[in-house]
Structure 1
Amino acid sequence: MDLRRLRYFVAVAEARSLGKAAERLRMAQPPLSVQIRKLEAEIGAPLFHRGTRGMDLTEAGQALLARAGEALALAADGAEAARAVASGRRGRLSVGYMFVLANAMLPRLIPELRRAIAGIDLDFAELSASTREARLLDRSVTVALCMPAINHPEIQVARIGAQPFMLAMPNRSPLARMSAVPIARLHGRPLIALPPPERDPASSAVAAMLRRQQVVMPIASRVETAHSAMSLVLAGEGLAILPACAKLGAPRGIVFRPLRDATDSIDIAVCWRRDSRSPLIGTFLKCAERAVAKL
């Protein structure tokens, strides 16, 4: 049913006069009368009859009026919802995040997003080094908080901050008694390593730092997440070099110390598909930048 014609019908029913309804609609009376006749022909029954006090609704007209207001309200609501989503004032955003950033970023980021986009629906998905690229490419997440940035031709990257590396070790380790650990003291000690970047394994920031310092740490294990690395460190399997923000999720018994003679850091990045048209990404990026600034 034509919504415009339905709107004309409601105006006539409320005004009980073609002339008054035409005036309210800012149109001439004859075209309005034609539209009402067409609506009656479409339904197959008269909707009005002339009474002593104007145009009265027939039973068919009363039945239509009972539903017409709801239909017009739903149509208006749908149009407003579409405009709000298109302008970034409403919508659904699926956010992927790497575990190492969860405790540092999410408590700061989520309130920023709620303030910036009152009508946003948020979904969250934890990512690992091996899943983050695929989850963006298959669109199961819209935007991802990554460390380090993803290097892929179909993925756009915005670097929003960085975290210095720190040494994670059991609190019973002799190195834990130091306020800062000389990087040379790591030579020969087993390393619990995270996976290297997807497309250039030799460019791992930790590996590059150790090469530059001429420190060799044999890899005892490779794990997917900082959480897993800390579990193996706690079990005595080796040491881990992790971003400083990882200490916010450290289990009891793990301590973090800065590395002396090394100021290397790792990027925090917001990543999304280059072909994404979501208007929410720009707002997400600004909120993420504000959240990083509070770290």
Structure 2
Amino acid sequence: MGAAQRVEDMDPLSGVELRHLRYFAAVAESGTVTAAAERLHIAQPSLSQQIRLLERRVGTPLFLRGSAGMELTEGGELLLRGVSKCLAELRASVAAARGAQPTVTLGVCRGVPQPVLSRAEELVARARGARVVCRQVDSERQIAALRAGTLAFGLLRTPTDTTGLSLRVLSDEPLGAVMHSGHPLADRSRLTWPELSGQRLLWFPAERAPGYAAAVLASLRAHGWRPETLAEDDGGHTLFRHRLLGRDDLIALRPHSGVFPDPDLLWRPLGPEPPHERLVLAVPAAPGK
């Protein structure tokens, strides 16, 4: 016995195709090969050949052939029950799949304020008529993914090289200082650049958004503040506040909308001319643009 024959013996579905089951059900329901062939829009000899092939694959006669037509054998009756159930479930699954709402992926950089994210989701859903699935992707990686076509939309920080992308600005806010409520500068309603002398900066890894990081740090230097930076962990708000609490020489920079409500932390505006955080919705540009 060959290997192919052994596989067929082990797997009762080996060589059985969906069309064979449809043909079998049509003949069983129509009662004759002629009527079934007309219903299926195929030639009668071809249909008869496919039924005989199915019988060989199943390993038992499925029909008793007589002058009155095709009558199911006991094995045929058993097979028809399963085939009818299978085809009904398959039709229902196909209908459900057709009715399912398509999805589109939106890359989102870290620390995006909720109102900005909601606005981005609304715009993407309206543009594509699809359910939006958000995935955290750093700004720099979004650029590469958008150009490669592996990401449909991106919500990212600028400035960065956005060649080949179309942009829509969703947020452009000045950065302010975030500190713990007992910080020596907490009693100021607004901070000036000289007051930040000696303060260190809780800052994110620049590789996440190198263009934005470079622009902000250049703005700080232009105003005379050259802070030592302390890398921010990837632990969300809990570790962010933990780093700031009790540190009288450490602040962070955030737009006001990007600060979580927290009784132990304060936000203070900076001036004059504070750097801005600019968040944009990016999509690959149409060809020729």
* TM-score, normalising length: structure 1: 0.64
1:239 to 230, 251, 254: 251
Residue of 224, 227, 234 corresponding to 2:233? 224
Map 1:73-222; keep pairs closer than 5 Å: 89=102, 97-101=108-112, 103-104=114-115, 116-117=129-130, 148=157, 160-161=168-169, 162-164=171-173, 165-173=175-183, 175-197=185-207, 204-219=214-229, 221-222=230-231
Residue aligning to 1:261:
272
The residue that corresponds to 2:72 in the other structure is 57
Greater CA deviation, 193-202 or 34-43? 193-202
Deviation at 1:189, TM superposition (A): 2.6
Helix, strand or coil: the match of 1:100?
Answer: coil
What is the CA–CA distance in structure 2 between the aligned matches of 1:5 and 1:107, rounded to whole Å? Answer: 50
Q: CA deviation at 1:245?
A: 3.5
Q: Which amino acid aligns with 1:183?
A: W
Instruction: Verify the 8 A CA contact 2:120 2:281 in the aligned structure 1.
Output: no
Separation (CA, whole Å) in 1 of partners of 2:82 and 2:159: 53
3-state DSSP of counterpart to 1:169:
strand
- Cα deviation digits, residues 211-236 of structure 1 (max 9, x gap): 122223344x3223573443322322
Does the CA-based 8 Å contact 2:183-2:246 persist in structure 1? no
Gaps of 5+ in 1: 272-280, 283-295
Matched residue of 2:262: which SS?
Answer: coil
Structure 2: which 5+ residue stretches go unaligned?
1-15, 285-289
Q: Give the CA deviation at 1:47.
A: 1.0
Aligned to 2:13: none
- Change in Cα spacing, 1:31 to 1:194, as seen in structure 2 (3 Å) is closer
Pairing 1:269-288 to 2, within 5 Å after superposition: none
> Given that residues 96 and 124 in structure 1 are in contact (C-alpha distance below 8 angstroms), is that contact kept between their aligned partners in structure 2?
yes
Q: Provide the secondary structure at the position in 2 that maps to 1:67.
A: helix
- 1:22 equivalent to 2:37? Answer yes
Q: How many residues align?
A: 258
Q: Distance in 2 between matches of 1:39 and 1:199?
A: 61
Contact 2:62 2:75 in 1 (8 A): yes
More contact order relative to length (CA 8 Å, sep ≥ 6): 1
The separation in 2 between residues aligned to 1:55 and 1:243, in whole angstroms, is 78
The Cα shift of 1:67 comes to: 2.3
The alpha carbon displacement at 1:9 in A equals 0.8
Look at both structures and tell me which one has the larger radius of gyration over its CA atoms. Answer: 2
State whether residues 151 and 198 of structure 1, in contact with CA within 8 Å, keep that contact through their aligned partners in structure 2. Answer: no
Contact 1:243 1:266 in 2 (8 A): yes
SS in 2 for 1:215: coil
Deviation string, structure 1 residues 23-66 (Cα, Å, up to 9, x no partner): 22123333322222222233332211247864221111122222
8 Å contact from structure 1 (residues 205, 266) kept in 2:
no
Query: What is the DSSP-based 3-state SS (H/G/I as helix, E as strand, rest coil) of the residue aligned with 1:101?
Result: coil
Aligned 8 A contact 1:194 1:229 in 2: no
- TM-score (norm: length of structure 2): 0.65
Percent identical among aligned pairs is 27
